[in-house]
A and B are shown apart, each in its own frame.
Chain A
Amino acid sequence: MKKIRMGGGSAFWGDMLEPAVELVEKGDIDYIGFDHLAELTLSILQRVRAKDATKGYIPDIIPWMMEILPPAWDKGCKVITNAGGANPEQAAEEVRKIAKNLGMKGMKIGVVTGDDVLPQLNELRDKGMKFPNMDTGEEDLDRIKDRIVAANAYTGSDSVIEALKEGAQVIVAGRISDNALYVAPIMHEFGWDFSKQYVDLIASAITIGHIIECAECCTGGMSNIWQAVPEPWKIGFPIAEFYENGEAVITKAPDTGGLVSEWTIKEHLVYEVLDPRNYIMPDGISDFTSVKLEEIGKNRVKVSQAKGKGRPKDLKVCIGFRDGFIGEAQIFFPWPDALEKAKRAAEIVRRRFEITNLRAEEVRYDFLGVNTILGETVSMKDLDYNEVGLRVAVKAQSFEQASKVRREITHLWTISSVGAHMGVPSQPRPVISLWPTLIPRAEVTTGFTMKEA
């Protein structure tokens, strides 16, 4: 039976390069996907582009492609990435230059665009669309309209498939969904379209894309059974062997660390999922409660029986808007009575904020090593801690107000208790808040152009 092998090459902007190169060199893969975009990333990249029109893509694409293209060209492995970010055209141009310099004459690079709906947002609002916030239920984005920095639709496989049909060996896109990085090559290779007969098969593709799109997260990098995961420093990125009947096997490159087991795949099946009966992607909807997982060998897990529904009529849009600043700082207190020292320091900061008239929307106090990540689920009994940190975080509309936390934590050095010590305090950071909403599919038109090295 016909099959294709795809590698998951990146979970986020900042992920490791070496395991991705290893996948191409040793993984016997036909395609490799690179996801570099999280919810916030497009807003960061739009700001960069606003300052310099030749930027706005993920800068890692340059060092990445210099290492990935030679083995990919050699082995005939196609590369699909969303590293184009807010400027896919320029990112693809950089890739073309790299390919040319490395002597890959004739390499075809597809540029997929159309996800950026910022230019038509006002026009659509004039047509009466209010873009209600899916998280908060707020009905109209009018309140934030002057602070919007980015609005990108999560687009599907359509234009990627078209570019592959035209012979693209590398595809540089903006905000295509992470999932489409993998659904597109599957649909292209098996000649599927979005008609009814392929709905369950596309659901299988969506399920597999979901499992491998966070790369090492499904090969033991984020597991409850972490103690059973060998050599994470040389972790293998995942490979999906996908068969024409919709069945797939998840594995990883040979001689690598990490673990592919029924457990690690199960954990990732439910990762970043709302209703598992309706996992909604631009290319379709998959029902994860129908999926069957079987460990069929060492580091091999078979995934089958996904059931699906057709494409949703709306696409998700992530709108980013400027929303003030966050300042945070921390300081540590030693035994004896470390927690009591830290609690008293928190009270000092609270009082100092009153005296200096802090104007903040929110202030948060955490005791590091006690309740920082487990929050209200933790008992605050005064155990005999070796050391406890105090972290104070402030959200304010102005940089100056958010900076006050840094000053007041510094003062704890001299007005709290003996032995207190802090690291290097950092500057407040600008906040981009997100407004997730929906847009009718018909309002988003994707397309592609082709470059040649």
Chain B
Amino acid sequence: MLYWTNCEDFKAYETMIHEITPEKIKGHFGDMVRGDIELYRMPNVACLHVVLRKALGGGATRTLRYDQTGKAMGQALLRMEVEVDDDVLTEARQTMERIFEKYGKAWG
């Protein structure tokens, strides 16, 4: 299981829901994910919720993985390459800039 929230702009959300498919995710994770991949659209919060079945090496308490609960898998998904138009990319970058403008950067 994992969650992924990376989108505030609706244009980026539209791109995300069309570009990100279970097949692509499966290819990205390879053997790390043994079960089905389910995608749930949440337009109310501009999220694509990603559920990976059989993806913890047998479950948190008996897995040999260092990341027993799969906390890093959402970050791993951020490295998956998808095709996007330049203006979507620009908007996404602007969103991140706006976030740090609004809340300030306390680190880095």
Residues of A that sit less than 8 Å from B by CB:
39-40, 135, 224-231, 259, 261, 263, 266-267, 269-277, 288-293, 320, 323, 326, 328, 362-364, 366, 372-377, 391, 393-395, 431-434
Q: Within the complex, which residue of A227, A266, A290 is in contact with B108, where a contact is CB–CB below 8 Å?
A: A227
Q: Are B45 and A291 in contact (CB under 8 A)?
A: yes
Give chain A's interface secondary structure class. Answer: mixed
Contacts A292-B44, A362-B64; A227 near B100 (Cβ below 8 A): yes
Number of A-B contacts (CB under 8 A): 128
> In whole angstroms, how far apart are the Cα atoms of A87 and B58 in the complex?
29
> In whole angstroms, how far apart are the Cα atoms of A272 and B56 in the complex?
13
> In whole angstroms, how far apart are the Cα atoms of A277 and B103 in the complex?
30
Interface digits, B53-74 against A, CB 8 Å rule (1 contact, 0 not)?
Answer: 0100111111011110001100
Closest to A225 in B: B99
User: 8 Å CB contacts to A: which residues of B50-108?
Assistant: 51, 54, 57-62, 64-67, 71-72, 75-77, 79-80, 99-100, 103-108
Q: Are A326 and B64 in contact (CB under 8 A)?
A: yes
> In whole angstroms, how far apart are the Cα atoms of A83 and B64 in the complex?
28
Q: Are B107 and A270 in contact (CB under 8 A)?
A: no
Q: Are B6 and A224 in contact (CB under 8 A)?
A: yes
Residues of chain A contacted by B77 (CB below 8 angstroms): 377
Give chain B's interface secondary structure class. Answer: loop
Q: How far is the CB of A123 from chain B (nearest CB, A)?
A: 27
Contacts A270-B42, A376-B29; A393 near B100 (Cβ below 8 A): no
Q: How far is the CB of A220 from chain B (nearest CB, A)?
A: 9
Q: Within the complex, which residue of A277, A289, A391, A434 is in contact with B66, where a contact is CB–CB below 8 Å?
A: A391
Closest to A289 in B: B42
Q: How far is the CB of A326 from chain B (nearest CB, A)?
A: 7
Q: Are B79 and A377 in contact (CB under 8 A)?
A: yes
Q: Within the complex, which residue of A227, A261, A291, A320 is in contact with B106, where a contact is CB–CB below 8 Å?
A: A227
Q: Are A135 and B59 in contact (CB under 8 A)?
A: yes
Closest to B75 in A: A374
Q: Are A263 and B5 in contact (CB under 8 A)?
A: yes
Q: Within the complex, which residue of B3, B45, B62 is in contact with A323, where a contact is CB–CB below 8 Å?
A: B62
> In whole angstroms, how far apart are the Cα atoms of A270 and B107 in the complex?
25
Q: Within the complex, which residue of B1, B28, B57 is in contact with A377, where a contact is CB–CB below 8 Å?
A: B28
Contacts A276-B40, A289-B44, A372-B67; A40 near B107 (Cβ below 8 A): no
Q: Are A228 and B100 in contact (CB under 8 A)?
A: yes
Residues of chain A contacted by B75 (CB below 8 angstroms): 374
Q: Are B107 and A226 in contact (CB under 8 A)?
A: yes
Q: Are B45 and A266 in contact (CB under 8 A)?
A: yes
Q: Are B60 and A39 in contact (CB under 8 A)?
A: yes
Residues of chain A contacted by B60 (CB below 8 angstroms): 39-40, 434
Q: Are B58 and A433 in contact (CB under 8 A)?
A: yes
> In whole angstroms, how far apart are the Cα atoms of A47 and B96 in the complex?
48
> In whole angstroms, how far apart are the Cα atoms of A432 and B61 in the complex?
6
Closest to B74 in A: A224
> In whole angstroms, how far apart are the Cα atoms of A249 and B69 in the complex?
29
Q: How far is the CB of A258 from chain B (nearest CB, A)?
A: 10
Q: Within the complex, which residue of B42, B65, B105, B107 is in contact with A288, where a contact is CB–CB below 8 Å?
A: B42
- Say yes or no: is B31 at the interface (Cβ < 8 Å to chain A): yes
Residues of chain A contacted by B71 (CB below 8 angstroms): 373
Residues of chain B contacted by A289 (CB below 8 angstroms): 40-44
